[in-house]
Amino acid sequence: MQLAFVLYKYFPFGGLQRDFMRIALECQARGHAIRVYTPIWEGEIPAGFDVRVAPIKALFNHHRNEKFSAWLAADLARAPVDRVVGFNKMPGLDVYYAADGCFEDKAQTLRAPIYKRWGRYKHFADYERAVFAPESKTEILMISEVQQPLFIKHYATPEARFHLLPPGIAADRRAPANAAEIRAEFRREFGLADDDILLVQIGSGFKTKGLDRSLKALAALPRGLKQRTRLIAIGQDDPKPFLLQVKALGLSEQVQILKGRSDIPRFLLGADLLVHPAYNENTGTVLLEAVVSGLPVLVSEVCGYAHYIAEADAGRVVPAPFEQDNFNRLLAEMLGDDAARAKWGANGLAFAASADLYSMPQRAADVILAERA
């Protein structure tokens, strides 16, 4: 089949983007042709991919999306495909990969009533309705159990159109046989002594991921613990406001903020704890990447994959509603207990060997390629 994959932006270090790439490559490996539509492509193009970048510009995102949808429809009319697979909500999809939560629920619970009068609201509500309305034919690939009831509540979407996928953790995130050697080399490279503690926070969108919360918690550590603790944050985002916070908190010698990079497994093996106090997170793939590498996790409960941390007993979950003092206390407790961290790490490795955390691309491809009635 000729498959069209559609997303608003591709860059190598986003969670949605990595999921798209692995699903598209799985479909290609099964013998199908891959065409990609996007307004923005950053990075290398895989062999055999037909990437078509839309020549559109607009001041506002929702206007850009509308222009892109019109351009996409025109191109597909000229060169039809067998399936259209979207990674953002929009009309005309045969399959939608639900990386984002329910927009309508957020609009009703987190926004003032006047928000619904704006053009931005109407655009995103209409595009979400195009996917989830009862009369739509779009099949929905779900990666978060907590979001499905919200879509059904607001749109009465038939349950038969939902397909819950397992996580899709890449095999290279699992701790290799020489994990101890990689850890030692990494810590030498970053100048970490044996008794130094390294926190890592990984994910694009520092504000949403709660980097400000992590910095406050680092600053609040007991003096002795604080002096030997460092934090490295990695992601595609503007670091300036957080660097100002680092300076204001007196943490300039202890914090590094790095751009997205491809050697994340080294950081997971070299660190002592992953912190992820996100404000909202549909899933949180990096949580499971840490677990399968043997790295303990401290995560906020709102993350879709936080329940795996509890199930695996691979760290601690900060209950909702989030309280900074509670997060500070849990961080200090975890960093002060070497034996507990070792146990959480071992539990994560055991969980990695028994749970299905890896088959998402294969299961997604099964749905995309299935015969339609």
User: Across the chain, which distance is largest between two alpha carbons, in Å?
Assistant: 66
Asked whether the predicted pLDDT for residue 9 surpasses 70, the reply is yes
Domain residue ranges in the chain: 2-166+358-369, 171-354
Can you tell me the mean pLDDT for 280-285? 89
pLDDT at 170: 84
The pLDDT score that the predictor gives to residue 97 is 98
Same fold, 2-166+358-369 and 171-354: yes
Instruction: Give the 3-state DSSP-derived string for the chain, with helices as H, strands as E and coil as C.
Output: CEEEEECCCECCCCHHHHHHHHHHHHHHHCCCEEEEEECCECCCCCCCCEEEECCCCCCCHHHHHHHHHHHHHHHHHHCCCCEEEECCCCCCCCEEEECCCCHHHHHHHHCCHHHHHCHHHHHHHHHHHHHHCCCCCCEEEECCCCCHHHHHHHHCCCHHHEEECCCCCCHHHCCCCCHHHHHHHHHHHCCCCCCCEEEEEECCCHHHHCHHHHHHHHHCCCHHHHHCEEEEEECCCCCHHHHHHHHHCCCCCCEEEECCCCCHHHHHHHCCEEEECCCCECCCHHHHHHHHHCCCEEEECCECCHHHHHHHCCEEEECCCCCHHHHHHHHHHHHCCHHHHHHHHHHHHHHHHHCCCCCHHHHHHHHHHCCCC
**pLDDT attached to residue 94:** 98
The predicted pLDDT at position 373 comes to: 64
Q: Which CATH code is given to the segment(s) 2-166+358-369? A: 3.40.50.2000
Q: pLDDT per residue over 304-313, tens digit each? A: 999 999 999 9
Confidence check: pLDDT of 113 > 90:
no
Residue 316 phi, psi (nearest 5): -130, 150
The phi, psi pair for 208, rounded to 5°, reads -65, -35
pLDDT tens by residue, 219-265: 999 999 999 999 999 998 999 999 999 999 999 999 999 999 989 99
Tokens found for residue 125: 């509500």
Asked which of 152-161, 279-288, 324-333 is least confident by mean pLDDT, the reply is 279-288
Mean pLDDT, rounded, of the chain: 96
- Amino acid at site 348: G
Residue 302: band (very low, low, confident or very high) from pLDDT cuts 50, 70, 90: very high
pLDDT tens across 204-231, in order?
999 999 999 999 999 999 999 999 999 9
Percent of the chain with pLDDT over 70: 100
Confidence of residue 329 (pLDDT cuts 50, 70, 90): very high
CA distance 5 to 90: 12
Distances (CA, A) of 122 to 62, 66, 262: 9, 12, 38
What pLDDT does 311 receive? 96
pLDDT at 104 over 90: yes
Average pLDDT value for residue range 329-334:
98
pLDDT at 173: 87
Q: Are 275 and 255 in contact (CB under 8 A)?
A: no
Q: Tens of pLDDT along 79-103?
A: 999 999 999 999 999 999 999 999 9
Q: pLDDT tens digits for 52-65?
A: 999 999 999 999 99
Distance between CA atoms of 93 and 64, rounded to whole angstroms?
Answer: 18
Residues 6+ apart with CB under 8 A from 88: 6, 7, 8, 65, 99, 100
197 contacts 272 by C-beta, under 8 angstroms? yes
Give the number of other Cβ atoms within 10 Å of residue 144's Cβ.
Answer: 21
What phi, psi does 178 have (nearest 5°)? -100, 35
Query: What pLDDT, on the 0 to 100 scale, is given for residue 136?
Result: 98
Do the beta carbons of residue 45 and residue 51 sit within 8 Å?
A: yes
Alpha-carbon distance values, 305 to 22, 168, 287, 301, 331 (Å): 19, 12, 7, 9, 19
Q: Tens of pLDDT along 166-177?
A: 998 988 789 999
> Which CATH architecture does the domain made up of 171-354 adopt?
3-Layer(aba) Sandwich (3.40)
Residues 11-41: pLDDT tens digits? 998 889 999 999 999 999 999 999 999 999 9
What's the pLDDT at 317? 98
